[in-house]
Structure 1
Amino acid sequence: MPFTSLVARLPFPSAAVQRAVGVAAVLAQALIGVTGSIVRVTGSGLGCPTWPQCVAGSLVPVNHPGIHALNQWIEFGNRLLTGVVIVVAAVAVVTAWRVQIDHPRRTRLVKLAWTMPGGVVLQAVVGGMTVLAKLEWWTVAIHFLATTPLVWLAVLLLRAFREGDEPARPLVPASGRAILVALAVVLWLVLAAGTTVTGAGPHSGDINTHRLDAPVEALAQVHGGLLVLYLLLLAIFGLQLLRVGAPKSLWQRYTAVWVVAVAQGVLGSLQYALGVPEAMVSFHVLGAMALIIATATLWTGSRDRGPAVSLEPAPKQPELATT
């Protein structure tokens, strides 16, 4: 393939470059979720009321009756950030592809890399549907929840750059893996419940948007209760680590999850007590992204796929002597 030969001419990405690309993918996917919350709490969700154009006849903000210029630029800035995320995703694909050219068995790495641009395209479509639906609360919820697996996959990609492709060897017993699966499922339920609280809460993204007709207090209790269940499962998983004498690296990841989860719980409680101020909403979303990253990091640290085999270019084959 012509493009393969073009990629093959690129310098082999060093271990530092591979790690930087993986970190950039994680940060880009998480950041777009946070900036989306800024759009919502500033009431800028319909600052660009059409899609893919900002306003009818223009891709960029222009004077428009009934739409404040600041709201236009906040929403348009979020759209521009999507372009940055696409660039990072493309770099991840090219980096993984270049690695595979030297190490053909690294197909899993390339597949993970391709989820980045694929996910961004899907998110762009969902975002367009959200705008065209005038920010109906359930479309906003889907738009946010669609980001969460992309952040998780970006963490897997970062890890894949630093590990081999051997069959996963669990570092915890089967019961521990089952608890970890349950932990991931409950985390997603916590996030989904959080979107219902947002759907019924005061920050809709636009003053004319329909809200979820349900008591915020009850929804917040469900959201908080699921977080308590998450913490309970996390404590049980810790007992599993004690039982098997888990390595120090896994304990460090486990501790990081506790720190982020407790901080997120405290922040959510304080946010609710203070009447959901705008700035704290975005910090809470940032905390949600950090919790996804921490949990995914714990997930990847609970198994071993062997040593990294592609941090250096493949040895050059000796040229055959000619007569």
Structure 2
Amino acid sequence: MPLSSLIARLPYPSPVLQRTIGIAAVVTQAGIGVTGSVVRVTGSGLGCPTWPQCVAGSLVPVQHPGIAAINQWIEFSNRMLTGVVIVVAALAVLAAWRIQLDHPERKRLVKLAWMMPAGVVLQAVLGGMTVLAKLEWWTVAIHFLASTPLVWLAVLLVKAFGEGDEPARPLVPALGRRTLVLLTVLMWAVLIAGTTVTGAGPHGGDLDTHRLAAPIEKLAQVHGGLLVGYLVVLAVFGLTLLRGRTAKRIWQRYAWVWAVALAQGVLGTVQYALGVPEAMVSFHVLGSALVIVATATLWTGTRDRGPVRSRTPATPPERELAAAN
């Protein structure tokens, strides 16, 4: 029996379920980065020194000379959380696929849904490379940065569940659209610069991990300078919104970006001034995820793809027509 026939037997996902799955994708894609930072700041990055096994000969933590049990379990727990990400990613694919069977035009929704499990596979491979490379700072940076577009795509997936499939119609002036593109580029520049600060910082995941041989003060200045640039462009984007009749919901999303970005800036400044305490590192990673979510939400709010027509199953005539096509 074709797999699509089995998917067709599943109940049609309700709008509430669709949105719940989309939000769960955002939370899990962002959350795995936060738990990864906990592994790093607790020095548990090599708590499981092999991959895919935890220690040679065992998939789960066992007593091992030179490795504390708590470090093993912290690292192992982070690996197990990947299972939750996989489940949510699979649910996203099943829901999108089930919707497309009744509404064949929902191709974009299915493509976005498939990005979730594809990202999990990529992250699993990168995670294994990071462990095998003994947490070299640049492998940790790549592992983290690879998760950031997945958070962005998960936000787009939430939006796709609740919108139509027409070509995107801009809701802001052309200058605003170009400014928003620049804002997004700067956001990722801030994230990349942040990984270099982390690479030179005190929390490498293991005491013997090589660190980036560069002055952390200079790296932090570059990181902070890029954030200032991000805020300046964000202000310019706000000015472009004044040129037209901007919907209230866009202003609300714009305000949230300001709130999250400023909070992240204050947190980073305090964290640096206090000598980078462990707990604040994880909060800063959470803040970076929230900046991505807020910026992506602003991005999706500035374009319209028409009303969604797939909140309910297709009627029998519509289903027959879909099958014929």
Bin the TM-score by the shorter chain: over 0.9
Equivalent residue, structure 2, for 1:6: 6
Equivalent residue, structure 2, for 1:22: 22
Cα distance, 1:175 vs. partner?
1.3
Equivalent residue, structure 1, for 2:302: 302
| Alpha-carbon distance in 2 for matches of 1:318, 1:180 | 39
Equivalent residue, structure 2, for 1:101: 101
In structure 2, relative to structure 1, the CA distance for the partners of 1:228 and 1:44 (3 Å cut) is same
CA deviations over 1:114-154 (Å, ceiling 9, x no partner): 00000000000000000000000000000000000000000
Cα distance, 1:318 vs. partner?
9.1
TM-score norm. by structure 2 comes to: 0.97
Equivalent residue, structure 2, for 1:282: 282
1:32 match: secondary structure:
helix
Cα distance, 1:316 vs. partner?
2.5
| Alpha-carbon distance in 2 for matches of 1:280, 1:243 | 40
Equivalent residue, structure 1, for 2:214: 214
1:192 matched to 2:192:
yes
Equivalent residue, structure 2, for 1:167: 167
| Alpha-carbon distance in 1 for matches of 2:113, 2:319 | 33
| Alpha-carbon distance in 2 for matches of 1:245, 1:216 | 45
Equivalent residue, structure 1, for 2:144: 144
| Alpha-carbon distance in 2 for matches of 1:9, 1:249 | 38
1:26 match: secondary structure:
helix
**Alpha-carbon contact 2:54-2:76 (below 8 Å) kept:** yes
Equivalent residue, structure 2, for 1:64: 64
- Give, as a single letter, the amino acid of the residue that structure 2 aligns with 1:284: H
Equivalent residue, structure 1, for 2:234: 234
Equivalent residue, structure 2, for 1:224: 224
CA deviations over 1:81-121 (Å, ceiling 9, x no partner): 01110110000000000010110100000000000000000
Equivalent residue, structure 2, for 1:263: 263
Equivalent residue, structure 2, for 1:180: 180
In structure 2, relative to structure 1, the CA distance for the partners of 1:56 and 1:176 (3 Å cut) is same
Q: Which runs of 5+ in 2 are unaligned?
A: 321-325
Q: Which runs of 5+ in 1 are unaligned?
A: none
| Alpha-carbon distance in 2 for matches of 1:137, 1:45 | 11
| Alpha-carbon distance in 1 for matches of 2:40, 2:187 | 23
1:317 match: secondary structure:
helix
- Give, as a single letter, the amino acid of the residue that structure 2 aligns with 1:245: R
| Alpha-carbon distance in 2 for matches of 1:309, 1:296 | 23
Equivalent residue, structure 1, for 2:323: none
2:276 match: secondary structure:
coil
Cα distance, 1:313 vs. partner?
1.2
Equivalent residue, structure 2, for 1:247: 247
**Alpha-carbon contact 2:102-2:319 (below 8 Å) kept:** no
| Alpha-carbon distance in 1 for matches of 2:174, 2:51 | 47
Equivalent residue, structure 2, for 1:40: 40
| Alpha-carbon distance in 1 for matches of 2:49, 2:19 | 38
Cα distance, 1:319 vs. partner?
11
CA deviations over 1:190-237 (Å, ceiling 9, x no partner): 000000000000000000000000111110000000000000000000
| Alpha-carbon distance in 1 for matches of 2:67, 2:280 | 25
TM-score norm. by structure 1 comes to: 0.98
% same residue:
75
* Root-mean-square deviation (Å): 1.2
2:64 match: secondary structure:
coil
